[in-house]
Amino acid sequence: MTTNRMTTSERNELKTLANERARLAMTQVRSLAADRLVELNRQLEATWAIEDFELGEMWKELRETANAANAKIATRCDELGIHPDLRPRIVTGFGRTSIDATRRAQLRQMAKDENEAAVRRAAHQIDTWKLETRTKLVREGLTSDAAMSFLESMPGTADLLPAITADDLTRALNAR
């Protein structure tokens, strides 16, 4: 004869299993997050390598243009008899902002922050699953109304952390 209710031993085994599955899932999430961060950094580096190459090509074009212009200036100065020390000259300069390193650091930090946020969201989902699973297992073994009432007594998230609106903040500031 089979019964619909689990035994205490079954519930305890399932609680242990739920803990182990949650622990494994969290390990897998951290591993996947690390792999994704490495891949994202590879993608950023590949993009920056192309950008650096293109900037190098622009430097070459700029130098070639400046050299061609200086040759024209030299020819014209020769025609006018202007002494070589007095001739105007175009000097190559390429205004590249110093924000490049800062921008790259910001992108890396954003990638890291997004990855950490994703890990935290996954951890929350895993913890929620684990708690819901364990709660179901405990509920299965409860026999009294008092125990069931106690189990249901935890306030909800919205009750624990009510929403704050801009109007609430304005009123609080005005009250000071």
Residue 160 lies in a domain: yes
| pLDDT of res. 17 | 92
Residue 18 lies in a domain: yes
- 35 pLDDT band, cuts 50/70/90, is very high
- 28 pLDDT band, cuts 50/70/90, is very high
Residue 3 lies in a domain: no
| pLDDT of res. 97 | 60
Global confidence as pTM: 0.60
Whether the CB-CB separation of 124 and 22 falls below 8 Å is answered with no
Residue 2 lies in a domain: no
| pLDDT of res. 48 | 85
Residue 1 lies in a domain: no
Domain that holds residue 99: 8-175
* CB neighbourhood size of 41 (10 A): 14
Domain count, the chain: 1
pLDDT digits (tens, 9 = 90+) for 42-62: 998 888 888 888 888 888 998
